[in-house]
């Protein structure tokens, strides 16, 4: 092995990136809240559900899949498996046939059955009512747990998916590299009572306006605070 030159280690440390909020993130967040409170005062998920069980299933199915596709799948699924008890007794073949048109059906089949069994065995057949316990369920990660807990129970947690990560980074709210880093940076800056709404606002904005490939900046009410617009679209 070659020797390490003097100063190499300290130089590497000094160049290490610090992931943090943008210098005016707090003001931008207030502007986002004020803007979308007027445009869409009661945002919510586009997944169709009637109870906690149905939202958990739909959320699990929505990973790497559109809400539209999930909403096409779930009516027949819930007719066949109306609760966790029915799903816990399902065969993989039965579940797979009902969800095979969504992404990663094999993995999701496994997760759905394991999730139902766990809820029956460890939670008395009731979907957990907090993000911490929701994350113990197979197939439910931190983002999904936060979305479910905030939507169903009003828990003040922020869910960060690819839409939220992309849009908030374009706006200049942070320089994070992952959704998890984004959640840690932004959560303390967003008033608890707005965290759930903020998640839905940004998801909808990313889905219909600030799209990944072709953002529709001409329809965006936030261009004056958007770093992407200033540098990429406005030639600044």
Q: Which of 143, 177, 180, 214 is catalytic?
A: 143
CA 89 remoteness from chain centre: 29
DSSP 139: T
| Active-site residue flag, 136 | no
Strands (E), the chain: none
Q: Which residues contact 121 (CB under 8 A, 6 or more apart)?
A: none
Q: Which residues contact 90 (CB under 8 A, 6 or more apart)?
A: 81, 112, 113, 116
CA atoms of 85 and 155, how far apart (whole Å) = 26
Q: Which of 83, 93, 133, 161 is catalytic?
A: 161
Q: Say if CB 123 and CB 56 are below 8 A apart.
A: no
112: how many CB neighbours lie within 10 A of its CB? 28
Q: Say if CB 31 and CB 54 are below 8 A apart.
A: no
Q: Say if CB 170 and CB 216 are below 8 A apart.
A: no
Q: Which of 14, 30, 17, 16 is nearest to 173 (CA)?
A: 30
Distance separating the N- and C-terminal Cα atoms of the chain: 47
* 233: phi then psi, degrees, rounded to nearest 5: -100, -25
| Active-site residue flag, 143 | yes
Active site residues: 143, 161
């Amino acid at each position: 092995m070659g020797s390490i030159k003097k100063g190499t280690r300290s130089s590497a440390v000094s160049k290490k990136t610090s992931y943090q909020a943008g210098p005016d993130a707090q003001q931008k967040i207030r502007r986002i809240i004020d803007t979308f409170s007027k445009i869409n005062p009661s945002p919510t998920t586009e997944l169709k559900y009637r109870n906690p069980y149905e939202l958990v299933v739909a959320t699990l199915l929505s990973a790497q899949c559109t809400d539209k596709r999930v909403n096409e799948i779930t009516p027949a699924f819930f007719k066949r498996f109306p609760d966790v008890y029915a799903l816990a007794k399902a065969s993989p073949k039965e579940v797979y046939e009902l969800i095979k048109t969504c992404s990663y059906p094999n993995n999701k089949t496994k997760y759905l059955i394991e999730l139902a069994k766990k809820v029956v065995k460890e939670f008395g057949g009731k979907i957990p009512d907090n993000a911490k316990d929701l994350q113990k369920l197979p197939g439910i990660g931190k983002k999904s747990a936060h979305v479910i807990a905030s939507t169903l129970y009003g828990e003040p947690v922020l869910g960060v998916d690819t839409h939220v990560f992309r849009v908030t980074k374009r706006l200049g709210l942070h320089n994070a590299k992952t959704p998890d880093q984004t959640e840690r940076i932004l959560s303390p800056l967003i008033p608890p009572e707005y965290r759930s709404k903020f998640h839905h606002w940004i998801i909808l904005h990313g889905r219909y306006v600030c799209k990944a490939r072709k953002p529709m900046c001409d329809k965006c009410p936030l261009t004056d605070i958007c770093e992407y617009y200033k540098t990429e679209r406005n030639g600044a």
